[in-house]
Structure 1
Amino acid sequence: MTSPAADSPLDVLQRVFGYDAFRGQQAEIVEHVADGGDAVVLMPTGGGKSLCYQIPALLREGTGIVVSPLIALMHDQVEALRAVGVRAAYLNSTQSPGERADVERAYLAGELDLLYVAPERLSSEQTKRFLGGGRIALFAIDEAHCVSQWGHDFRPDYLALSELAERWPDVPRIALTATATEATHAEITQRLELGQARHFVASFDRPNIQYRIVPKRNVRSQLIDFIRAEGEGASGIVYALSRKSVERTAEQLTASGIPALPYHAGLDAAVRAETQSRFLREDGLVIVATIAFGMGIDKPDVRFVAHIDMPKSVEGYYQETGRAGRDGEPSVTWLAYGLQDVIQQRRMIEDSPGDLAHRRRASQHLDAMLALCETVQCRRVNLLRYFGQAAQPCGNCDTCLEPPAIVDGTIPAQKLLSTIVRLERERGQRFGAGQIIDILRGTATARTRQHGHDSLSTWGIGADLGDQSWRGIVRQLLAQGLLASRGEYGVLGLTEASTGVLRGETTVMLRDEPERSPRVRSRRRDSALELEPAALELFEALREWRAGQAREQSVPAYIVFGDATLREIAAARPSDRAGLAGISGIGEKKLDRYGDAVLEVVSAHAALGA
């Protein structure tokens, strides 16, 4: 589409995208970039980042070039823009030579508003020469945290994007991400040469998301219980660290009557593409995946995200949980973690090929993630503090809704640390948590008999606590820096801070973990259920009509209309185009394309109710 020169950002927002007003800092960002300024934008998932470069691209002369690492999703991103009348296209390796030639011709002829390219393609000299033959309105660098080696998703091809400033010094650039600590933020600025850019940092809070973290016991059974209680019939994502775990979990969910598909990098590319397509287009499907899945997923109605293994960093956790509730509706995130997760990740860090600085950063990331898991304070306060943002207790996370009991754990901690001391000093031995817990509980095994551990003075002094309780204590001491896990086998050792505990100079406060996790009542409600009965029936009729439209066009249903738009139609029951035009999410193009059909559904429903 061509935007009249007199159009203001608000005109474009209303006419093209169908929204009455900008949110948060959107208006300020749009005006700054449209006027030719560079920007670094940190905004949470679902906060409306894409409008911050799409609208300036429509206001400026030329084509907005969007750098995105998400080749598999470019088609749907472009289709969503075309659905509102924006002339958008992409260039990537999935296209035939003829399709690429058509896009290149349209770009050079000035017939595109937005062009999506992958960083790998943009780093080639051939692509840069090609872009130089057209008029560039702006560069938008999406998922900009990928440039940071401090971040959780470093992509080397992003480093070459610093050349954009040298080659096109007069073209504004906007770097956007939903995930950045102060260190990552600084590295984005430095590596992309955005030293003169304005910085816009929105709140990282996602108040519609409820955070829950529980100790692992029988994790797949725990997961099934969670989905049945909170997410049955809803779309969701389950993350696991290994491909084997992904496949086993998907099989177990399916066997339990929960529709689920696996997704990981070891699957054939065609299978992955089909899985992603089904997830975007079907309701109620659960994807069990490694972190290979999800970045840039635009599906707005993901109602839950679950982790059955502890993520490697808070940034990764925040990015992954942010895929829930992009539509702003109440959603739940759930994480189960255990001592073995910590030991396994420590071992992976020690075995990693990176240098000492890399391993130190990875350890810092893991320490912060463990601290989030073990906190007895509000999860959201802890999470936002990691990103440099102060917050008050939210009242909508597990530790707020069911505050954990805190007990004096000094004596159990002394027993455990004393056992480690005796093993090292008396026997010259080091062991992992399992063997030490067997000693504390006085559990006779082939291994304890082999090493004569039943003769230790600490044998059986912790028999009053169960295995799970001792594992919880080990986790918490690791999180508090009172214990260290080292080496290939995760052997436990003392730290400098351990001495104060052994001498009785340091009090150790621990979370009192029950043998079963308490059932946290969710505040999540399906907003559709808040409609009056007649409006709810109309909402379902509109969803059915939308599903038919999506099938005909082979696009995800949300590209036709989002649930929030359909709910507003169902509640307002407009009788003409003027009434429909006032609904959020209905711009000129969608009003022209779908207006009469939507009004027919509303009218038919009214006739049935008469």
Structure 2
Amino acid sequence: MTLADTAPLDVLKRVFGYDAFRGDQAEIVGHVCSGGDALVLMPTGGGKSLCYQIPALVRPGVGVVVSPLIALMQDQVDALTALGVRAGFLNSTQDPEQRRAVEAAYRSGELDLLYLAPERLRVESTLRLLERGTIALFAIDEAHCVAQWGHDFRPDYLALSQLHERWPDVPRIALTATATRATHTEIAQRLNLSDARHFVASFDRPNIQYRIAPKNEPRRQLLDLLRTEHPGDAGIVYCLSRKSVEQTAEFLVGQGIPALPYHAGLDAAVRRRNQARFLREDGVVMVATIAFGMGIDKPDVRFVAHLDLPKSVEGYYQETGRAGRDGLPSTAWLAYGLADVVQQRKMINESEGDRAHRQRLGQHLDAMLALCETVECRRVQLLNYFGQQGSPCGNCDTCLTPPESWDGTVAAQKVLSTVFRLDRERGQKFGAGQIIDILLGRRTAKVEQFGHDSLSVFGVGTDLGEGEWRGVVRQLMAQGLLGVEGTYQTFVLTEASRPVLRGERQVMMRRDPEKVARGRSRSSSKAPSSKAGPVDMPAGAAPVFERLRAWRGATAKESGMPAYVIFHDATLREIATRMPTTLAELGTISGIGENKLAKYGEGVLSTLAGEEPGAP
């Protein structure tokens, strides 16, 4: 596609089918088109890719995109090809003949965009290849991978500062969806972008409803979420361990939900096949460790669920951000319990690295626990973590069903006194179950075996139930008032415990609502769409939308590409609502550029006319 010197707004309309830029896009695109360097922090779904794709089309030469996502490069190239953009990639999945063809296209100027994995830029032959062509820009995607203590650190990213040294006149744009102020600074320093223009968009994702529920048979809770709120929807379920991934996927399949496992222990071919099914089919649920998800462009992921506590707010935000990339209402749901806190504390204590590293991990966990335990708006808490201001959203669980806070000082003293007496009087340490049994006055075999029914604290906690006591212990750990140690994850007091025991510190706690707030249905959600086109369709448009989805599915299957590469759900919803009858009318729909109109327009109009769905 030859668009050099074309106005960026014209490229946006002709190629991508949008009438206007959003947010900072226009300023970023203009800056890079004029040869300036940029560091862009923008949330997932905010349109980061356009910030380098349009300058790559406008500037002479080839846009070189550095991406860690080898498994997804084919899909990224397919999506651009569907728009009429000449794109290619070079990575280890290709045979020599395929690589030679891409290299020849680059040298002859027949590419608009070339995707490379960062490790390829450490190979001298790749650098010599790039010198034989004209480079429009360097785009460094997923730039948070350069942060040494980040959640997705990639050592090969550290070498990318050489791009500026070797090609000082080629503009660079680094982009990420996840960065605190400290990570932002680290990215700029490590990529030599301190003097670049920095663009920081709002991290708010108003279409995502954040909910955190107390754990109570989490797989059953997940099943209830999927059946009542997301039947037939695509989604991602994150688990901490490979075993849990496989067991959860098996459980969902047994309940009639199409679910697939994904973790680093699976054969590479199985991972590729499962990822391809998730991307290409509608309504598939991927159950995965955090090995899955970075760079997933599937726009219609309607929910992201966590069955275990994430290690950091950055990781949580990055993972939940994979929901609702199309701007339509979506759910971020997390089941959280005492065992999560114990396990995470234990993992930090046993982690490799020096004391400073463990302290950093502890700070990350503390911030995540604060998000879980807050009685304030979760969205405000998230934005504050990233250094931004927000106001109560009215679309998270703490806004929809505000939890109470209560003075838990006496309850805290009872728990801490029990831990203190077990240690001082018996030289013993136990976990939550034994402590709660002692407080409730239960004469279990284990209580009687160790003589704990003779402790002065035996039976002093009958004012609360077992679930309430588990919540107290969980929050004591979250506030750093209880520590954990040893293989058996037993409790110990901390320095912060002593003022509480002496009555010098008040301990406020969160009381979870008896019935956890269920999210609004997608049809009633007031969260605004971030793209043009309606979120809600008229009742009569729903059958038309389903016909269009069937046509899209058949077309995608014949073309061997994901359905969303053809059209996003938001585009189909607008088509179903407006019911265009001519190609000219269809061309005014958001998300339909010239190439897609020419390729798919007649098929869409035939489907609207009631003909059988099929590939064009």
What TM-score do the two structures reach when normalised by structure 1? 0.96
When structure 1 is superposed on structure 2, of 457-466 and 304-313 the one drifting more is 457-466
In the other structure, the counterpart of 2:196 is 197
When structure 1 is superposed on structure 2, of 173-182 and 224-233 the one drifting more is 224-233
Are 1:2 and 2:7 matched, yes or no?
no
| Deviation at residue 529 of structure 1 after TM alignment | 8.8
In the other structure, the counterpart of 1:206 is 205
In the other structure, the counterpart of 1:367 is 366
Q: Is the 8 Å Cα contact of residues 150 and 183 (structure 1) preserved in structure 2? A: no
Tell me the secondary structure at the aligned position of residue 202 of structure 2. Answer: coil
| Deviation at residue 348 of structure 1 after TM alignment | 1.4
| Deviation at residue 420 of structure 1 after TM alignment | 1.8
What CA deviation, in whole Å up to 9, does each residue of 1:232-265 have, x standing for no partner? Answer: 1111110001011011111111111111111111
Q: Is the 8 Å Cα contact of residues 69 and 117 (structure 2) preserved in structure 1? A: yes
Question: How far apart, CA to CA, are the structure 1 residues paired with 2:288 and 2:524?
Answer: 25
Question: How far apart, CA to CA, are the structure 1 residues paired with 2:468 and 2:540?
Answer: 52
Tell me the secondary structure at the aligned position of residue 298 of structure 1. Answer: coil
Q: Is the 8 Å Cα contact of residues 415 and 458 (structure 1) preserved in structure 2? A: yes
Greater than 4 Å deviation, 4+ residue runs: 526-529
Are 1:262 and 2:264 matched, yes or no?
no
Structure 1 counterpart of 2:518, one-letter code: V
Q: Is the 8 Å Cα contact of residues 67 and 117 (structure 1) preserved in structure 2? A: yes
In the other structure, the counterpart of 2:483 is 484
In the other structure, the counterpart of 2:50 is 51
When structure 1 is superposed on structure 2, of 168-177 and 350-359 the one drifting more is 350-359
| Deviation at residue 396 of structure 1 after TM alignment | 0.4
Q: Is the 8 Å Cα contact of residues 347 and 489 (structure 1) preserved in structure 2? A: no
Q: Flag structure 1 segments of 5+ consecutive residues without an equivalent.
A: none
Are 1:599 and 2:605 matched, yes or no?
yes
Question: How far apart, CA to CA, are the structure 2 residues paired with 1:26 and 1:385?
Answer: 23
Q: Is the 8 Å Cα contact of residues 542 and 566 (structure 1) preserved in structure 2? A: yes
Aligned match of 2:554 in 548, 562, 566? 548
Structure 2 counterpart of 1:219, one-letter code: P
In the other structure, the counterpart of 1:298 is 297
| Deviation at residue 526 of structure 1 after TM alignment | 8.3
Q: How does 1:380-459 map to 2 (within 5 A)?
A: 380-459=379-458
Tell me the secondary structure at the aligned position of residue 168 of structure 2. Answer: coil
| Deviation at residue 519 of structure 1 after TM alignment | 4.0
Q: Is the 8 Å Cα contact of residues 92 and 117 (structure 1) preserved in structure 2? A: yes
Q: Is the 8 Å Cα contact of residues 535 and 570 (structure 2) preserved in structure 1? A: no
What CA deviation, in whole Å up to 9, does each residue of 1:180-216 have, x standing for no partner? Answer: 0111111100111111110000000000000110111
Are 1:30 and 2:36 matched, yes or no?
no
Are 1:252 and 2:268 matched, yes or no?
no
Closer/same/farther in 2, CA of residues 541 and 523 from structure 1, 3 Å limit: closer
Structure 2 counterpart of 1:571, one-letter code: T
What CA deviation, in whole Å up to 9, does each residue of 1:433-464 have, x standing for no partner? Answer: 23222222223344333432222111121133
Are 1:564 and 2:562 matched, yes or no?
no
What CA deviation, in whole Å up to 9, does each residue of 1:4-56 have, x standing for no partner? Answer: 42x11101101111100000000000011111111110000000000000000
Q: Is the 8 Å Cα contact of residues 372 and 382 (structure 1) preserved in structure 2? A: yes
Structure 1 counterpart of 2:331, one-letter code: V
Question: How far apart, CA to CA, are the structure 2 residues paired with 1:211 and 1:530?
Answer: 20
What CA deviation, in whole Å up to 9, does each residue of 1:140-195 have, x standing for no partner? Answer: 11111011023211111111111111111111111100000111111100111111
Q: How does 1:246-395 map to 2 (within 5 A)?
A: 246-395=245-394
Question: How far apart, CA to CA, are the structure 1 residues paired with 2:291 and 2:121?
Answer: 22
Tell me the secondary structure at the aligned position of residue 459 of structure 2. Answer: coil
When structure 1 is superposed on structure 2, of 216-225 and 319-328 the one drifting more is 216-225
The Cα RMSD (Å) is: 1.7
Structure 2 counterpart of 1:2, one-letter code: T
Q: Is the 8 Å Cα contact of residues 332 and 524 (structure 1) preserved in structure 2? A: no
Are 1:579 and 2:585 matched, yes or no?
yes
Aligned match of 1:524 in 515, 522, 525? 522
Q: Flag structure 2 segments of 5+ consecutive residues without an equivalent.
A: 526-533
When structure 1 is superposed on structure 2, of 583-592 and 526-535 the one drifting more is 526-535
What CA deviation, in whole Å up to 9, does each residue of 1:242-289 have, x standing for no partner? Answer: 011011111111111111111111111111111111111111111111
| Deviation at residue 410 of structure 1 after TM alignment | 1.5
Question: How far apart, CA to CA, are the structure 1 residues paired with 2:365 and 2:516?
Answer: 26
Question: How far apart, CA to CA, are the structure 2 residues paired with 1:50 and 1:526?
Answer: 31
Question: How far apart, CA to CA, are the structure 2 residues paired with 1:261 and 1:490?
Answer: 32
Question: How far apart, CA to CA, are the structure 1 residues paired with 2:444 and 2:161?
Answer: 60
What CA deviation, in whole Å up to 9, does each residue of 1:510-544 have, x standing for no partner? Answer: 12236x64242424228989333443332222222
In the other structure, the counterpart of 1:243 is 242
Tell me the secondary structure at the aligned position of residue 261 of structure 1. Answer: strand
Structure 2 counterpart of 1:162, one-letter code: S
| Deviation at residue 320 of structure 1 after TM alignment | 0.5
Question: How far apart, CA to CA, are the structure 1 residues paired with 2:524 and 2:145?
Answer: 34
When structure 1 is superposed on structure 2, of 559-568 and 394-403 the one drifting more is 559-568
Question: How far apart, CA to CA, are the structure 1 residues paired with 2:535 and 2:382?
Answer: 31
